[in-house]
Chains A and B, each alone.
Chain A
Amino acid sequence: MTAPALVEVRDLVTHFTRRAGLLGTRRETVQAVNGVSLDVARRETLGLVGESGCGKTTLGRTVLRLVERTAGTVRFDGEDVFTLGSEALRHLRRRMQIIFQDPYASLNPRMSIGRAVREGIEVHHLASGREAERRVAALLEEVGLSADATRRYPHEFSGGQRQRAGIARALAVEPEFIVCDEPVSALDVSVQAQVLNLLADLQARRGLSYLFISHDLAVIRHIAPRVAVMYVGRIVEEGPSEAIYAKALHPYTQALLSAVPVLDPKTRRPRIVLAGEPPSPVRPPAGCPFHPRCQHPAKDEACRTARPELRALEPGHRVACHKADA
């Protein structure tokens, strides 16, 4: 290991209870995140990919302590996020931000874009008066919004412009780390490309670190040099994107990649069709979480009973599978 990571997640577990049953009287425990360890280095983008319900959004929110953990640790620049007092946490919060899929979630509909961006600057005493105003204008320009955006309200914007406003709001407090939770999933293809290019530019200019969460494997490939694949609350494969997209080692990653349509009518990738649907995070399977759907020819009793740990099969490329080999 070289320099310590900016964000260091160790054995993180996040469970929560929800009401279930017809009358909502029964309670069940959702094991959303079930023992995740990962690092995000400074100036790095780590892609986190998985299908709906795999726990990737809960993981992102737990890292920022927007959700309380059940067990494990998160360190940001060496500080334990979960043991900080409220004042210290407030200071830390300035350094870690989040961008949502639906920017409405982070923008107050009754607040003009200018005020929304300015709010963070003032809460954290970064500037006031004229100086704050000047910063807001510079931020809006940096994310590609016109100067008159400052007086307008979220509903007056298109989806792409709203996402730009959400990004400006996150940047206002000069964070070092941003959790990007499906930031382009609701956008049209042509606008999605604009926002992805913007996020890449901002990273280069400001030296940001991203945890980039998405269900879209092509988007992750584009934005993240390193990727972690999540399935039922666990990381099942992690490594350099080049390696994983060229030769995935976990059977789930292989199936996931095989399902993405190829942008070329003349080629067709052999498809691995998975049986059934992902298991419920309320009752994750024993052993390997993927074993009920796994088609690995060597699948055996160990897969059904023993949980595979992540192990490095190639430098920096780790896989949680008993049967995988490089």
Chain B
Amino acid sequence: MSAPAPAPTPRGPLLEIRDLTVLFTGPDGVARAVDGVDLAVGEGETVGLVGESGCGKSVTALAVLRLVEPPGHIAHGSSVRLEGRDLLALGAKEIRAVRGNHVALVFQEPLSALNPVLTIGAQIAEAIRAHEHVSRSTARWRAVEMLTAVGIPDAARHAAAYPHQLSGGMRQRALIAMALVCHPKLLLADEPTTALDVTIQAEILELLDDLQRRLGMAVLLITHNLGIVAERTRRVYVMYAGQIVEEAATEQLFARASHPYTEGLMGAVPSLEERRQRLRSVPGQVPPATAWPAGCRFHPRCRYAWEQCRTEMPELLDVAPGHKARCWLVQEPHRRERQ
């Protein structure tokens, strides 16, 4: 399903984030790392969340599971609903039951997410027993079964290995096995293949696709890689400086990127198909989260910016059904042509 964010379905989306704000208090002041994010993921849907480092995409994923650590905190007024249930209102015990069981998280660097002194098999079995009342031997057996399902050869032997004894690709598979062993309805995959070689990356993404189809799981795929977004997602959110700046069906986004930042990203990526004489880079760099610019946060780097952009922050404006961009150009498209 690829319904746009305010889904008119009677049950609503699987995950619905409304006005999520995450603040970090530090010596340089308060950083609004995530600032008023609305985002929805339908059942079984794969949604991309794309942006560069420091844009707030990872913090958004952590906030869904309430894993933001001090000095960061989720601001009042934020809402994260899973099948209608407000995750931000749950008690400590209840949110633990959600983690892994209903919503699982896969990180970029599996070594930091795995326990170095436990074997892979033991860790997966432990994850099962944290959520289900099954015997130790049943848990072990299911761990091996899951390792087989994620394509680890000779799974029984590899279940007895420690994380450091596996290659990067195998560790990422093991982490995915651990994330999926309780059949979550939603997987938050944060740059799951960024540290891997391109051939291994392709395998891991195929694996996620395949498991998703078989388990009917929804995936929020967080990445900086537009190629992966194009290939793997149906709908996508683009994040910049703590905010969603554009959302659209993936095909629509690639056919008609409307926010100048999205446009800039697409011009900046070298292509395998054709050699561009010169990459269209986005000038400047992302400002620090403690000092987001006034008005539109992208205006200092934007080639179209005019007075209004420097003073007034645009809302997400409708470009087409299901397609929104946080940019005044939506209202004054002639300014784009003049460039």
Contact = CB atoms under 8 A, between A and B. Distances in A.
A218 B197 contact: no
B145 interface: no
A83 interface: no
Given A189-B265, A190-B264, A271-B202, A260 B272 contact: yes
B278 A197 contact: yes
A158 B52 CA distance: 13
Contacts of B334: none
A318 to B, nearest CB: 21
A142 to B, nearest CB: 17
Contacts of B53: 188
B269 A215 contact: no
A245 interface: yes
B271 A218 contact: yes
Contact of B276 (A191, A222, A262): A222
B279 A218 contact: no
A256 interface: yes
A266 B268 contact: no
Contacts of A241: 275
A54 to B, nearest CB: 9
B285 interface: yes
A256 B53 CA distance: 26
Given A268-B231, A271-B202, A273-B202, A190 B270 contact: no
A262 B227 contact: yes
Contacts of A257: 272
A221 B275 contact: yes
Nearest to B277: A200
A193 B250 contact: no
Given A189-B269, A256-B198, A277-B167, A261 B228 contact: yes
Nearest to A188: B52
Contacts of B270: 193, 196, 216, 218-219, 221-223
Nearest to A218: B270
Contacts of B203: 273-274
Contacts of A255: 199
A222 B275 contact: yes
A39 B227 CA distance: 32
Of residues B199, B269, B271, which shows the largest number of chain A Cβ atoms within 10 Å of its Cβ?
B199
Contacts of A263: 226-227, 230, 254, 266, 269, 271-273
A265 B251 contact: yes
A305 interface: no
Contacts of B231: 261-262, 265, 268
A108 interface: no
Contacts of B283: 194
B225 interface: yes
A215 B198 contact: yes
Contacts of B286: 188
Contact of B200 (A221, A261, A277): A277
Interface string B5-22: 000000000000000000
A289 interface: no
A200 B279 CA distance: 10
B312 interface: no
A258 B200 CA distance: 12
Contacts of A222: 270-271, 275-276, 279
Contacts of A193: 267-270, 279-282
Nearest to B55: A188
Interface size class of A (residues with CB under 8 A): 35 or more
A217 interface: yes
A266 B285 CA distance: 31
Nearest to A277: B167
B278 A200 contact: yes
B206 interface: yes
Interface in B25-84: 52-53
A194 B281 contact: yes
B268 A160 contact: no
Interface string B223-237: 011111011100000
B169 interface: yes
Contacts of B201: 259
A268 to B, nearest CB: 7
Interface string A47-77: 0000110000000000000000000000000
A251 B264 CA distance: 35
Given A196-B270, A222-B276, A260 B282 contact: no
Contact of B202 (A161, A218, A242, A259): A259
Nearest to A293: B199
A192 to B, nearest CB: 7
A301 interface: no
Contacts of B170: 277
Contacts of A264: 230, 254
A263 B267 CA distance: 11
Given A190-B52, A196-B279, A261-B228, A218 B272 contact: yes
A265 B229 CA distance: 8
Interface string B198-228: 1111110110000000000000000011111
Nearest to A223: B270
B254 A256 contact: no
A158 B275 CA distance: 28
Interface string A74-117: 00000000000000000000000000000000000000000000
A191 B251 contact: no
Of residues B52, B205, B264, which shows the largest number of chain A Cβ atoms within 10 Å of its Cβ?
B52
5 contacts: A193-B280, A241-B275, A263-B227, A263-B230, A273-B203
Given A261-B231, A262-B227, A263-B254, 19 more contacts: A51-B197, A52-B168, A52-B197, A188-B52, A190-B264, A193-B269, A193-B282, A194-B282, A197-B279, A218-B270, A222-B270, A222-B275, A222-B279, A223-B270, A256-B199, A263-B227, A263-B273, A264-B254, A265-B251
Interface of B: 52-53, 167-170, 197-203, 205-206, 224-228, 230-232, 250-251, 254, 264-273, 275-276, 278-283, 285-286
Q: Can you list the 3 inter-chain pairs with the closest CB atoms, starting with the nearest?
A: A261-B227, A193-B281, A222-B270
